[in-house]
Structure 1
Amino acid sequence: MVGSRLQSPQPAGKRVKVKRQRKPKNPTGEMTLVEHLQELRRRLILAVAFMAAGTVVGFIWYGTAPFGLPPLGELLRGPYCSLPEHLRVTASPDGECRLLATRAMEMFMLRLKVGALAGMVLSSPFWLYQIWAFIVPGLEKRERRWTYIFVSIAALLFVAGAVMSYFFMSFGLEFLLSVGEEYQQTWLTGGDYYNYFIALIIVFGVSFEVPLIIVMLNLMGILRYEAIKGKRSIIAIALMILAAIATPADPYSMMAMSLCLWLLVELAYQFCRLNDRRRDKRRPEWMDFDDEQGSGPVHASGPIGASDPVVASGPVGASGPVAPSAAAGASASSRPTPQPGLAAQPSPPPATPGPGTPGGAFDDVL
C-alpha cells in the first residue's frame, strides 16, 4: 500500500507544477563583477525600452491633440508663427503659417526627432529610476539623501531654463530675421528651425546649473563666501561673456540669460554666506590657521634633571637637625592649653634616649 501510494501515476492531461526556488535576497548589495555587468545590462535594456515607448507616444502626439493638449507640432512652430507676417514667408494655399521642407524625408525626420525628444522627457522618471537603482547600492544613507536632493534641484533648474528660452525665442528670431530685410527675406526650413530651437533650450537649461555648482562647491568646503563676496563685478562680466558665447547672435537671448544667471548666482551667494556662518559657529579656532602657519618660536630644552638635582639620602631612622624656630613652634604647639579654674601642671622632663633607641649611644652603628 505504501509503495503504491508513493508511485501512483499522475493522471493524464495534467502538468506537474514544480515550485521554483526564489533567489535569496542580498541585504548588503554585494555583487561580483559579472553580476554587476548583468545588472547594468538589464538596467540599460529597461531604460532603452522606456525611451522607445516614449518616442512612439511623442511621434503620435506630434500631429494629434490627446486629452485636450495642443499637438507637439503646434508647440514647436509657436515662436516662429508669433513673428510679424512681413518676416515670414507664407506659400500655403490657406495662408496658414508653416515651415518649409526641401527634401522628401525632411518632414518625417523632423517628426521623429521631435517625438524622440518628447519621449525622453515623458519617460525620464522611468529611465532615471533605472540609473538610480544601479547606483544607489554603492551609496550610504547620507549620500543617497544628498544625491536625491541635488538631482531633483538640477532637473527643476533645467526645466526652468528650457521654459525661459521658449518665451524669449520669438524675440531673438525677430531680431535675426529683421537684419537686412530690405534686400532679402528668410524662409526657414523645418530642420534649421528645429536645430535653433533645441540649441537654445539646451543652452538655457545647462547654464541654469551654474548656481547649483557654486552651492555644491561651498558645501564641500572648496569655495567660501569670503573668497567671492568682493568679486561680484568680475563674475557679472564673466556671466555676460558666457551668455554672449552660448546664445545666438541676438541681444535679447543674451540679456535674458545674463539677468537670470545673475539672479540665480546671487541666491547662491546668499546660501554660501548663511552656510559659512553656520559652519563657523561649530568650527574650532585652531582650524582657521593655515597649514603652513607656525605656532610661535620654539626654544631648545635644557638637559634632563639640570633644574632639580638629586640629593643623597641620609641614614634610615636618623632625623636631621631641627631649626630653632621650628623646634620652638613645635614645643609651643605641643603644650596643652590651660583651662580656667585649674592649676597649671608642670610638664614632665623630656626622656633621655637610652642605649639601643634611635638617637642614643648606638646611633652611629645604624
Structure 2
Amino acid sequence: MSLGDHLRELRRRVLIAAVALVVGAIAGWYLYDPVYQHLTQPLLDIARQRGDEKTIALNFAGLTAAFSQRVSIAIFVGVIISSPVWLYQLWAFVVPGLTRKEKRISLAFIAAIVPLFLAGCWFAYQTLPKAVQILISFTPQGAVNYPEAALYFSFVTRFILVFGLAFLMPVFLVALNVAHVLPAATMRRTWRPAILIIFVFAAVATPTPDPFTMFLLAIPLAVLYFAALGIATVLDRRRAADKPEWADLPDDEASTL
C-alpha cells in the first residue's frame, strides 16, 4: 500500500472507532446513575466507617460542573463499552502488513485483547476502594474532605483505564515475537530487568503511596509477562521445527538437496 492508501485506511479505522465510541457514550449517558453510584461507593463507605456521612462528600463546583461530569463519565463508559470495536480496528489496521499465517495467529490476539482489557478494568474497580481509603485516611480527624467531583472522577477513570491498558502487555509481547522482533530467548534473558520495569511502572501508575496497591498491579503484570514468555517459547520452538535444515547454510556450501 502507498502512503496515501495507508492514511486513508487509518482515517477509515479511526472513523469506525469514533462512531463506536459515540454510540457507547450515548449508552453511558443513560447509565450515568448506576455508574456514578458504583464509583462513589468507596467514599460513602469510608464516611459510614467514620460515623459521619457529612465529613466526606463530592463537591460540584459551578453550575455546569454536574453536566460536564456526566459527559465525562459517559465518554468513560463509552470507551469501555466500545473497546471490542476500537481494539479490533487497531488490529485490522496492522493486519495488511502480516502474512497469511501471521493473520491467522493474530486472530488469537483479538480473542485475548478484549478479555484482558476488561479484566484489567474489573481488577482496578475491585482495587479502587482500597486506594480511596488509603488516600482519605490522610485527612485529619475532625476535618472534612470535600474533593472536587471533576478531580475525583478523573482519578478514578484514569486509575481504571491504566489497569486495563496495562493488562494488554502480554499481547504486545507475543505480537513482537510473532513479528520476529522479540525472541523468547531475549525475554528469558532479560526477565529480571523486565520485572523491575513492571514494578517501577506500577509504582508510577498507582497514585497511592502504599506498596499494597502497587503490588496489586505489579504481581498480575509479572504473571502475565511469564505467560507471554511461555507462549513465545512455544512459537519459537514451532518455527524452529518447521525451519528446513539447509536454511542456515552459507551460500557457497552445498545442501543435502
Q: TM-score range by the shorter chain?
A: 0.7 to 0.9
CA change 1:179–1:269 in 2 (3 A) is same
CA change 1:242–1:121 in 2 (3 A) is closer
SS in 2 for 1:222: coil
Counterpart Cα distance in 2 of 1:76 and 1:130: 29
Match of residue 232 from structure 2: 272
Match of residue 145 from structure 2: 186
1:282 Cα deviation from its structure 2 partner? 2.6
Counterpart Cα distance in 2 of 1:125 and 1:206: 13
Contact 1:87 1:185 in 2 (8 A): no
1:108 Cα deviation from its structure 2 partner? 1.2
1:153 Cα deviation from its structure 2 partner? 1.9
Counterpart Cα distance in 2 of 1:217 and 1:247: 27
CA change 1:207–1:127 in 2 (3 A) is closer
Residues 1:247 and 2:217 aligned together = no
Q: Deviations over 1:195-221 (max 9, x none)?
A: 111111121112112111221122222
Q: Deviations over 1:99-120 (max 9, x none)?
A: 2222211111111111222234
SS in 2 for 1:244: helix
| 2:46 pairs with one of 83, 104, 114 | 83
Match of residue 30 from structure 2: 60
SS in 2 for 1:83: helix
1:144 Cα deviation from its structure 2 partner? 4.5
SS in 2 for 1:82: helix
State the one-letter code of the partner of 1:61: L
Between stretches 222-231 and 135-144, larger displacement belongs to: 135-144
1:47 Cα deviation from its structure 2 partner? 5.5
CA change 1:232–1:124 in 2 (3 A) is closer
Match of residue 263 from structure 1: 223
SS in 2 for 1:248: coil
User: Which has the higher relative contact order, 1 or 2, with Cα contacts under 8 A spaced 6 or more apart?
Assistant: 2
Counterpart Cα distance in 2 of 1:132 and 1:276: 22
State the one-letter code of the partner of 2:226: E
Contact 1:100 1:188 in 2 (8 A): yes
Residues 1:222 and 2:181 aligned together = yes
Contact 2:76 2:157 in 1 (8 A): no
State the one-letter code of the partner of 1:150: F
SS in 2 for 1:77: helix
May I ask how many residue pairs the two structures share in their alignment?
249
Match of residue 158 from structure 1: 117
Match of residue 117 from structure 1: 76
Contact 2:42 2:129 in 1 (8 A): yes
Counterpart Cα distance in 2 of 1:209 and 1:230: 22
CA change 1:174–1:273 in 2 (3 A) is same
Counterpart Cα distance in 2 of 1:102 and 1:55: 23
TM-score (norm 1): 0.56
1:142 Cα deviation from its structure 2 partner? 4.4
Unaligned runs of 5+ in 1: 1-29, 64-70, 296-366
1:51 Cα deviation from its structure 2 partner? 3.9
State the one-letter code of the partner of 1:111: R
Counterpart Cα distance in 2 of 1:42 and 1:286: 42
Counterpart Cα distance in 1 of 2:194 and 2:225: 9
Contact 1:87 1:186 in 2 (8 A): no
1:152 Cα deviation from its structure 2 partner? 3.5
Counterpart Cα distance in 2 of 1:263 and 1:137: 31
Contact 1:102 1:189 in 2 (8 A): yes
1:244 Cα deviation from its structure 2 partner? 0.7
Contact 1:87 1:177 in 2 (8 A): no
Counterpart Cα distance in 2 of 1:140 and 1:282: 16
1:166 Cα deviation from its structure 2 partner? 0.5
Residues 1:207 and 2:177 aligned together = no
Counterpart Cα distance in 2 of 1:132 and 1:225: 22
Q: Deviations over 1:121-167 (max 9, x none)?
A: 43555677778888878877545544443234222211111110000
Q: Please show how residues 1-366 of structure 1 align to structure 2 within 5 Å.
A: 44=15, 48-63=18-33, 71-83=34-46, 85=48, 90-91=53-54, 99-123=58-82, 142=101, 144-182=103-141, 184-250=143-209, 251-284=211-244
- Higher share of residues assigned helix: 2
Contact 1:55 1:115 in 2 (8 A): yes
CA change 1:283–1:141 in 2 (3 A) is closer
RMSD over aligned CA atoms reads: 3.8
Counterpart Cα distance in 1 of 2:84 and 2:131: 32
Contact 1:214 1:223 in 2 (8 A): yes
Unaligned runs of 5+ in 2: none
